[in-house]
Amino acid sequence: MSHPRSIAVTVAGAVLHRGARSDSSLDLLLERYPQMSPDDRALATELAYGVLRNLGRLDHILKVFSKKPLSKLDTDVLTILRVGLYQLEFLDKIPPYAAVSESVRLTGEFGKRSAGGFVNGVLRAYLRNKDAVSYPDRSTDPGGFITAYHSLPLWLAKRCIDWFGVEGAIAAAEYLRGRPPLTLRVNRLKIDRARLLERLREGTGEMRPGRFSPDAITASGAGSILRGGWFEGGLFSIQDEASQLVTHLLGVKEGMTLLDLCAAPGGKATHAAELMNDRGRVVSVERSRERARLMAGNVRRLSLESIQMITADAGRIPISPTTPFDRVLVDPPCSALGVLRRNPEIKWRLSEADIDDLIRLQTEILEEAAGYTAPGGALAYSVCTFNPDEGRGVVESFLARRPEFSLDHAGEYLPEATGQFLDGPYLFTSPDRIEGDDSSGPDGFFAARMTRREG
């Protein structure tokens, strides 16, 4: 099982057929084989995530060459085919004969040796007749094209077309199939960005300052960075730039009080504490005990003392609203479409009905948070999705009901470099707004800041 292709099949199969999470499944398996070389670990990661990100195209191709319906195939055999085809379709550095022969070998390893000839036949048929694969016409059937070529479910492809137009939807779908960057957030209480960059560059891969957040570093060489002692020493956290910008939107200062709802794993709360020089009070509310424990570990690692954690439902906060907060952050559960690069299985599990349920929950939590915002204080709402119904829709509905709140302009609180992500008064790091073809841009986020009127 220590072979990278075996790990990829195990992870992809667990995610697609048993409801597992890609990140935790892969981490668990890699931890079992610490002797694996960095190259093999990288290959296992590439194959597992590559299949999940490109599942729509892979299955579209397999339907052309498989004489059996994919729904009738054994799940292990289907996963082996997907991993093998991913190498042939997307990876130039792996010789085709190696991808095919290793796929046949995997049928034996997974107890499906009788399917070896079938797997060999399907993959070799693809190699002989690649040109036989056709896709829906992007002009007459853009939703079908995005589904088959760019691997978005049809319902989501159609939604993206509604939101961004055809070309914007294609650009967004392509971006979301890319590999996300590893982004660090400097703990400014322990070190500044320039000095941390110097240290990291001494023994790791390419590093550069983030383009949008003043606390960000975009990095490569993840394994060596996390094993170098800098992470455990609290010099930095792992946090995407878009998420970092949400904290800057709050405009926190020393001595302020902050209520952070749905807080774990704590990226925004710990960032806020750092921006306040750990001099203030941050109350973080998280319903999941497991996620709360994870956040508590991050708080200790960063040596922060201003954070108080409460395990409770954000809709039923066990704090009296008679002592309101200077800042309140609502970061509720959402469709998470903005982080499909990191958790690609989301798009294969999410439904339109799920989104309706999420909007109701987001509305309830935002209403609850309003009562804890001090007069003259700010209430921020953020979701890691580019669905406007969960972003702008929830905020505008809230403002229509709550005239004591006024909408602030995000641009007044964010670094100048974020101008491309301003959608009127909102922060909106939508994937169709990324300039150029650089896949190292931020995740998809929406955020709004509102002020409660005094008196």
Q: What pTM value is reported for the model?
A: 0.92
pLDDT for res 206:
78
Residues 6 or more apart in contact with residue 309 via CB below 8 angstroms: 263, 284, 286, 292, 295, 296, 299
Of 51, 132, 133, nearest to 87 (Cα)? 51
Find out whether 339 and 374 touch, Cβ atoms under 8 Å. Answer: no
- Residue 44's nearest CA partner among 87, 89, 100 is 87
CB atoms within 10 A of CB 425: 16
Angstrom distance (rounded) from CA 455 to CA 451? 13
Would residue 384 show up in a list of annotated catalytic residues for this protein? yes
**378 and 393 in contact (C-beta within 8 Å)?**
no
Locus of tokens 């070529």: 149
SS3 content of the chain, % helix, strand, coil (to 5): 50, 15, 35
Walk along the chain (455 residues) in steps of 10 and give the mean pLDDT of each run: 87 96 92 89 95 98 97 97 98 95 97 97 97 96 98 97 94 91 95 91 78 90 70 95 96 97 92 97 91 92 95 79 91 96 96 95 95 97 96 98 97 92 94 64 95 89
Sorted by where each starts, the structural domains of the chain and their CATH numbers stand as 4-132 (1.10.940.10), 142-176 (no CATH), 182-238 (3.30.70.1170), 241-452 (3.40.50.150)
Please tell me the distance from the alpha carbon of residue 77 to that of residue 112, in angstroms, as a whole number.
7
Q: Are 213 and 185 in contact (CB under 8 A)?
A: yes
Give the per-residue pLDDT at 438.
Answer: 54
